[in-house]
């Protein structure tokens, strides 16, 4: 089932999301719905707060980038209760967008690699260092679980430049091709 994507201004996007237990109700269905919702919106990642749930669940699909990055052929993952333990020291800039911030694309500086722990959809525990594009997507998505959006990383000048677009979202005007839930 396609879920509406919560847009900037929705308070759930600013909450600290909670770890879940394996018996979280209808988890398999939620994960399937999140993948379907992300795919329909042409996203590479989606965090549960973006569908209105303050829980630590993230889905990622990098297969759509595999023409340029063959290492991601068939790459589709679910991250349950992810936590970043350490970050690399080298910082890299890359343009980011977000399904909860339609129409905004800005360059964001982040560490090039991260040490993460998480459970996969079968509840197997993972503990690994991740780098490159996946580390970028993970940091963006896991930020959502701490109530952070990528615009929070921008300079005050860049924040000023996107203020109009943000105000429009607060007024319920979000121009995008997928189903959204705005505050108004
Ligand atoms: Ni996002």
Range of the domain at 109: 5-181
Q: How much is the pLDDT for 168?
A: 95
How far, in Å, from the CA of 89 to the mean position of ligand 1? 23
Residue 29, H or E segment? helix 27-40
- Beta-strand ranges (E) seen in 76-136 are 76-87, 91-96, 106-111, 113-119, 125-131
Q: Read off the tokens for 19.
A: 């770890």
User: Do residues 25 and 57 make contact, with C-beta atoms less than 8 angstroms apart?
Assistant: no
Question: Known catalytic residues?
Answer: 141
Ligand 1 centroid from CA 63, angstroms: 18
pLDDT tens per residue across span 99-135: 999 999 999 999 999 999 999 999 999 999 999 999 9
> What's the length of the chain?
184
pLDDT in tens, 40-62: 999 999 999 999 999 999 999 99
Tally the domains of the chain. 1
Contact 62, 111 (CB under 8 A): no
CATH value at residue 141: 3.90.45.10
From the CA of 73, how far away is ligand 1's center (Å)? Answer: 22
Is residue 33 predicted with pLDDT exceeding 90? yes
| CA dist list (Å): 165 to 8, 101, 109, 172, 175 | 10, 9, 21, 11, 10
Question: What residues does the ion ligand 1 have nearby, CB within 5 Å?
Answer: 98
């Amino acid at each position: 089932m396609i879920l509406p994507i919560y847009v900037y201004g929705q308070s759930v996007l600013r909450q600290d999301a909670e770890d879940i237990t394996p018996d979280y109700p209808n988890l398999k269905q939620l994960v399937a719905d999140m993948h379907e919702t992300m795919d329909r919106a042409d996203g590479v990642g989606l965090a549960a707060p973006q569908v209105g749930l303050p829980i630590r669940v993230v889905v990622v699909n990098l297969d759509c980038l595999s023409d340029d990055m063959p290492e991601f052929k068939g790459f589709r993952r679910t991250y349950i209760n992810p936590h970043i333990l350490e970050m690399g020291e080298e910082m890299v800039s890359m343009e980011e967008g977000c399904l909860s911030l339609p129409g905004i694309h800005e360059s964001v500086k982040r560490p090039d690699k991260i040490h993460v722990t998480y459970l996969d959809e079968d509840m197997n525990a993972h503990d690994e260092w991740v780098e490159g594009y996946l580390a970028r997507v993970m940091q963006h998505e896991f930020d959502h679980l701490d109530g952070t959006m990528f615009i929070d990383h921008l300079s005050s000048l860049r924040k000023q430049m996107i203020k109009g677009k943000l105000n429009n979202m607060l007024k319920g005007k979000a121009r995008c091709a997928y189903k959204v839930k705005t505050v108004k």
